[in-house]
Structure 1
Amino acid sequence: MRVIVWVVEGTWPACVDAVSGHVPHATDVVLLHVTEPGVPDLAHGAFAGLLGRGRGEPDPGDRLETLGATSAARLLDTAAERLGRPATRLERAGRAEREVVAAAEGADLLVLARDGDRARLGPRSLGPAGRFVVDHAPCPVLLVWPEPAPDVTTLPPPPAHP
């Protein structure tokens, strides 16, 4: 069984724990981290916008790319340590939701955490990236709460019928 675990800062422990608790016999676990290029690209653009001024300094976008790669590697190492068994580490760059869906092709299960409003139950507990992945995943999805789920009293009210 091949399981993809989407490792995101702040929610990854719940995903890793879900694999241990719900898929203990997975033979191939892939820890996936996606880096979105937005921040380094902004820094590159801002630096280029100086139009020749300050060219004695290195491009700050290069430093941000290095920091991002180092941070992703550390995060994947920490997730693998928590998992406590062999796992493949996969780093991708691009739009997170599309990279996750692409990485899940051929997988038996995709594990991800809710990325929206986690204070109440309901559809808003999924942010845009999580909703895209859930709607487009080419395999079954295990969706977990990063912390204990809110009480059922937080359910949204039923729709009003005319």
Structure 2
Amino acid sequence: MRVIVWIVEGTWPACIDAARSHAPHDADVVLLHVTGHDVPGAAHGAYAGLLGRGHPERDPGTRVEDLARTSAEALLRTAAERLARPCTREERLGRVEREVVAAVEGADLLILARDGDRTHLGPRSLAPASRFVVDHAPCPVLLVWPEPAPGIATIPPPPPRPPHHHP
């Protein structure tokens, strides 16, 4: 069994705990982190737009890429320590939601955490990238709350129904 655990800053501990609880001990666990290409790309673009392309060695986008790589490595290392069992660490760079969906092809389970408005039950508890992943994942998905879930009283009321007319 191949289990992919999507590691995201802020919500990853709940995903690791879910993997410890739900992934069989002999599962091939992959800790996946994706750095969005938009962050270094924005730094590259801002530098080029403001200062031209005359000094590529001063381009802050390269430094942002290095920082993102170091941050991802540290996050994956910490997550692996919390998992406390053999695993593979995978780093990807690109459009986050598409990279996650591509990474889970052929997997038996994806574990991810809610990352939107977590004060209410409902669809807004997923940010857009996570919603895309849940909607497009080609495998079963285990969706966890990073903290205790809000009560069912937080479900919004149903929309009003128009009155039913009898002929």
What is the one-letter code of the residue matched to 2:69? A
Return the alpha-carbon distance in structure 2 between the equivalents of residues 42 and 60 of structure 1. Answer: 10
SS, match of residue 58 in structure 2: coil
Return the alpha-carbon distance in structure 2 between the equivalents of residues 15 and 55 of structure 1. Answer: 42
Q: Which residue matches 2:46?
A: 46
Percent of paired sites with the same residue: 74
- Structure 2 gaps of 5+ residues are 163-167
Shift of 1:17: 0.2
Q: Which residue matches 2:165?
A: none
Q: Number of aligned pairs?
A: 162
Kindly tell me: are residues 104 and 57 of structure 1, through their superposed partners in 2, closer, same or farther at Cα, counting changes over 3 Å?
closer
1:158 and 2:158 equivalent? yes
Report the aligned-residue RMSD.
Answer: 1.6
Return the alpha-carbon distance in structure 2 between the equivalents of residues 75 and 86 of structure 1. Answer: 16
CA displacement, residues 85-127 of structure 1 (integer Å, 9 cap, x when unaligned): 0110000011111111111100000000012110011111111
- Structure 1 gaps of 5+ residues are none
**Could you tell me whether the CA contact under 8 Å between 1:2 and 1:26 is conserved in 2?**
no
Return the TM-score normalized by structure 1: 0.94
Q: Which residue matches 2:82?
A: 82
| Structure of greater Rg | 2
Return the TM-score normalized by structure 2: 0.91
Return the alpha-carbon distance in structure 2 between the equivalents of residues 26 and 134 of structure 1. Answer: 25
Kindly tell me: are residues 152 and 28 of structure 1, through their superposed partners in 2, closer, same or farther at Cα, counting changes over 3 Å?
same
**Could you tell me whether the CA contact under 8 Å between 1:120 and 1:154 is conserved in 2?**
yes
Matches within 5 A, 1:5-20: 5-20=5-20
Kindly tell me: are residues 68 and 158 of structure 1, through their superposed partners in 2, closer, same or farther at Cα, counting changes over 3 Å?
same
Return the alpha-carbon distance in structure 1 between the equivalents of residues 85 and 56 of structure 2. Answer: 47
Kindly tell me: are residues 53 and 21 of structure 1, through their superposed partners in 2, closer, same or farther at Cα, counting changes over 3 Å?
closer
Q: Which residue matches 2:101?
A: 101
Matches within 5 A, 1:1-162: 1-52=1-52, 55=55, 58-162=58-162
Return the alpha-carbon distance in structure 1 between the equivalents of residues 137 and 146 of structure 2. Answer: 20
Shift of 1:159: 2.3
Larger CA deviation: 146-155 vs 53-62: 53-62
What is the one-letter code of the residue matched to 1:122? G
